[in-house]
């Protein structure tokens, strides 16, 4: 069962107009920076929620394993920027028993808490983190990407003025 998540992206038209004036590599660099900032908002909320679920009696902390990761494979295949927010180690429960390796240990049980089991009610922390921060993350992305584009445009204008000045002074 998939939960539906709806949000709007305000300010995208102004960003698209600015994008026309900058190079492709600058566009991707600024976009990746802005997307990471937005993803980190969701990650931070997921960490806060996971820390409330962590068992203090063990060294395994789900909150320590919540990460934001760049999806280079997706970028190479499609050209679209993508960050993934998840728990290191995936959803593999592995061998039976208690694999408690202390602080920084694997947390293979996180998906059992997130989705529940036939004997346990779900205590989600990832899905609510995304649902409640989607709009804030979108706004952060638009804000940071706009700043990056403005910096790139200013840098390009400075370079253009420098080239024009060199031509006027006979430098080439």
How many angstroms separate the first and last alpha carbons of the chain? 65
Q: Are 126 and 85 a contacting pair, CB within 8 Å?
A: yes
Q: Are 30 and 145 a contacting pair, CB within 8 Å?
A: yes
Provide mean pLDDT across the span 116-140.
93
Q: Is 111 a residue whose pLDDT tops 80?
A: yes
Q: Is 158 a residue whose pLDDT tops 70?
A: yes
What's the pTM value of the predicted model, to 2 decimals?
0.75
Residue-wise pLDDT tens digits, 32-86: 999 999 999 999 999 999 999 887 777 778 888 899 999 999 999 988 889 999 9
Two tokens at 114? 């997130």
CA distances from 54 to 21, 81, 103 (A): 48, 32, 12
pLDDT of residue 91: 62
To the nearest whole number, what is the mean pLDDT of the chain?
82
Q: Count H helices and E strands in the chain, helices first.
A: 6, 2
How far is residue 28's CA from residue 145's CA, in Å, rounded to a whole number?
10
Provide mean pLDDT across the span 150-163.
84
pLDDT of residue 152: 82
pLDDT of residue 139: 93
Q: Is 2 a residue whose pLDDT tops 60?
A: no
pLDDT of residue 164: 87
Residue-wise pLDDT tens digits, 14-35: 666 666 656 676 678 888 999 9
Q: Is 149 a residue whose pLDDT tops 70?
A: yes
pLDDT of residue 56: 77
């Amino acid at each position: 069962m998939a939960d539906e998540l709806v949000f709007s992206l305000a300010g995208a038209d102004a960003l698209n107009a600015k994008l026309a004036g900058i190079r492709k590599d600058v566009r991707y660099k600024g976009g990746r920076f802005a997307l990471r900032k937005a993803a980190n908002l969701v990650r931070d909320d997921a960490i806060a929620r996971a820390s409330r679920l962590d068992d203090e009696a063990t060294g395994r902390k789900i909150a320590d394993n919540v990460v934001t990761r760049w999806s280079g494979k997706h970028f190479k295949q499609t050209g679209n920027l993508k960050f993934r927010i998840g728990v290191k180690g995936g959803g593999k429960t592995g061998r039976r028993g208690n694999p408690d390796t202390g602080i920084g240990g694997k947390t293979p049980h996180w998906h059992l808490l997130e989705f529940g089991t036939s004997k346990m009610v779900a205590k989600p922390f990832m899905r609510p983190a995304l649902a409640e921060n989607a709009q804030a993350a979108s706004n952060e992305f638009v804000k940071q990407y706009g700043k990056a584009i403005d910096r790139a445009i200013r840098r390009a204008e400075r370079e253009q003025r420098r080239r024009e000045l060199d031509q006027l002074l006979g430098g080439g």
